[in-house]
């Protein structure tokens, strides 16, 4: 155990796609040239293609939170009433942003580990007057819980409100029929399923949402979606673009297109399912068993053990970086990610490491038993399919 490779296995930043990383070296390029415009146009077109939408897709030099703010500041006016679904740290962030910009927030809160039901959203839309927008996380990264954005979208679609989905970890880990389900704004980030470093956010904007932009009166300057749309049509960004990240994203999108967005989602779903099987085999409890996200699996530490010890020993024993709980969940849960550039060999190792860490800390498990659960998950899909094909 002298050599310990640093393996970044968190729910963002995620493992980097090598060819995307290498492409960053080509960033001795000026952004106001036809060479760059060609790349920028291709990136926006590819994003639109993998997101599977006819809506406009724009990119911003920002982390995902910047695009969250942009969707508030560009589409609403002071005092607008909005519904915020909150079941974790990122739901709370929606509420914080909305309040910072003076919106009138109707908070639909759920405790950590659960998700806000689509029925609650539908009910609130009926009982509350003048709701202009509904905000939610597709996947709540802090708790590993997924929201039923399809059913929520159907409820919002019938109203005059727009539906804004933080799909920063949802994109590439859950099916999202943006146009069919009425997802007016869908937000993504570069450092998630897109397999490149942080620094770029992007969002799709429906015609209904653009209508809101026409009347929105909140102050804005850097995040100006209308300006961004106008410039994007000319292959330009409003401000200096993050060229290295865009070059990386261009490569990553080639990979995702070749793989297929549906396969990227299926990959995350299989790994998430295998992880749930493995940790429950090891006697651990899932934190969000009722609404598990495929982007990240949150697992409760054994009774009497701080989850920080697990996170720390992943690093100290093996070099692996996994995520602790966030906020009040710190020390309670640890999180194993599946979004983006993750594969079965990653998971074999992550579970083998977990077995050792538990055993080393007075929670002995049968070595190999969790790994076997992952192998069985692989076999059920892959080997069964091969047997059927013979």
Please, which residue, 123 or 386, has the CB nearer to its own copies? 386
Whole-number Å distance between alpha carbons of 273 and 85: 25
Please, which residue, 304 or 345, has the CB nearer to its own copies? 345
Whole-number Å distance between alpha carbons of 229 and 118: 31
Whole-number Å distance between alpha carbons of 98 and 85: 12
Please, which residue, 52 or 211, has the CB nearer to its own copies? 52
Q: Could you tell me the smallest distance in angstroms from the CB atom of residue 203 to its own copies?
A: 25
Please, which residue, 129 or 388, has the CB nearer to its own copies? 388
Q: Could you tell me the smallest distance in angstroms from the CB atom of residue 47 to its own copies?
A: 19
Please, which residue, 242 or 350, has the CB nearer to its own copies? 350
Q: Could you tell me the smallest distance in angstroms from the CB atom of residue 368 to its own copies?
A: 3
Q: Which of 153, 184, 160, 176 is nearest to 74 (CA)?
A: 184
Q: Could you tell me the smallest distance in angstroms from the CB atom of residue 316 to its own copies?
A: 11
Tell me the HSE value of 221 on the side-chain side, using a 13 A CA sphere. 0
> Residue 213's Cα: distance from chain center in Å?
25
Q: Could you tell me the smallest distance in angstroms from the CB atom of residue 345 to its own copies?
A: 4
The residues of the shown chain that bind its own copies, judged by CB under 8 A, are 1-7, 15, 18, 25, 259-260, 263-264, 266-267, 270, 317-320, 341-346, 348-350, 352-353, 355-356, 359-360, 366-372, 374-376, 378-379, 381-383, 386
Q: Could you tell me the smallest distance in angstroms from the CB atom of residue 5 to its own copies?
A: 5
Tell me the HSE value of 310 on the side-chain side, using a 13 A CA sphere. 32
CB 163 within 8 A of CB 157: yes
Q: Which of 88, 93, 39 is nearest to 66 (CA)?
A: 93
Measured from the Cβ of residue 274, the count of other Cβ atoms closer than 10 Å reads 25
Please, which residue, 103 or 322, has the CB nearer to its own copies? 322
Which tokens sit at 114?
A: 């659960």
Q: Could you tell me the smallest distance in angstroms from the CB atom of residue 11 to its own copies?
A: 16
Please, which residue, 7 or 335, has the CB nearer to its own copies? 7
How open is the CA angle 294-282-116, to the nearest 5 degrees?
A: 35
Please, which residue, 60 or 195, has the CB nearer to its own copies? 195
Q: Could you tell me the smallest distance in angstroms from the CB atom of residue 360 to its own copies?
A: 5
Please, which residue, 180 or 368, has the CB nearer to its own copies? 368
Q: How many residues are listed for the chain in this entry?
A: 390
Q: What is the CA radius of gyration of the chain?
A: 21
Judged by DSSP in three states, 5 sits in coil
Whole-number Å distance between alpha carbons of 241 and 352: 42
Measured from the Cβ of residue 353, the count of other Cβ atoms closer than 10 Å reads 22
Place of tokens 């905000």: 135
Q: Could you tell me the smallest distance in angstroms from the CB atom of residue 241 to its own copies?
A: 21
């Amino acid at each position: 155990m002298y050599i310990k490779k640093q393996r970044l296995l968190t729910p963002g930043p995620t493992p980097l796609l090598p060819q995307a990383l290498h492409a960053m070296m080509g960033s001795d390029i000026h952004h106001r040239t036809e060479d760059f415009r060609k790349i920028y146009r291709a990136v926006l077109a590819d994003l639109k293609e993998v997101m599977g939408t006819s809506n406009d897709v724009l990119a911003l030099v920002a982390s995902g939170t910047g695009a969250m703010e942009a969707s508030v500041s560009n589409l609403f006016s002071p005092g607008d009433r909005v519904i915020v679904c909150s079941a974790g740290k990122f739901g709370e962030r929606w509420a914080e942003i909305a309040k910072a910009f003076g919106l009138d927030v109707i908070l639909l809160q759920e405790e950590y580990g659960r998700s806000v039901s689509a029925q609650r959203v539908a009910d609130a839309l009926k009982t509350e007057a003048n709701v202009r927008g509904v905000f939610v996380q597709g996947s709540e990264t802090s708790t590993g819980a997924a929201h039923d954005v399809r059913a929520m979208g159907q409820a919002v679609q019938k109203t005059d409100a727009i539906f804004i989905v933080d799909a920063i970890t949802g994109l590439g880990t859950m099916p999202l029929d943006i146009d069919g389900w009425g997802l007016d704004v869908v937000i993504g980030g570069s450092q998630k399923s897109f397999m490149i470093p942080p620094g770029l956010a992007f969002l799709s904007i429906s015609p209904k949402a653009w209508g809101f932009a026409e009347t929105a009166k909140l102050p804005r300057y850097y995040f100006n979606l209308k300006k961004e749309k106008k410039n994007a049509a000319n292959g330009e960004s409003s401000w200096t673009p993050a060229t290295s990240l865009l070059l990386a994203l261009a490569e990553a999108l080639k990979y995702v297109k070749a793989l297929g967005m549906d396969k990227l989602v299926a990959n995350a779903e299989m790994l998430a399912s295998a992880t749930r099987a493995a940790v429950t085999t090891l006697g651990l409890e899932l934190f969000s068993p009722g609404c598990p996200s495929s982007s990240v699996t949150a697992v409760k530490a054994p009774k009497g053990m701080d989850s920080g010890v697990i996170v720390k020993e992943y690093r100290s024993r093996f070099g692996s970086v996994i995520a602790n709980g966030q906020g009040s969940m710190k020390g309670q849960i640890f999180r194993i990610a599946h979004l983006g550039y993750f594969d079965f060999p990653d998971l074999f190792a992550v579970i083998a490491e977990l077995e050792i860490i538990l055993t080393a800390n007075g929670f002995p498990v049968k070595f190999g038993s969790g790994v076997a659960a992952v192998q069985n998950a692989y076999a059920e899909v892959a080997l069964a399919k091969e047997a059927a094909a013979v």
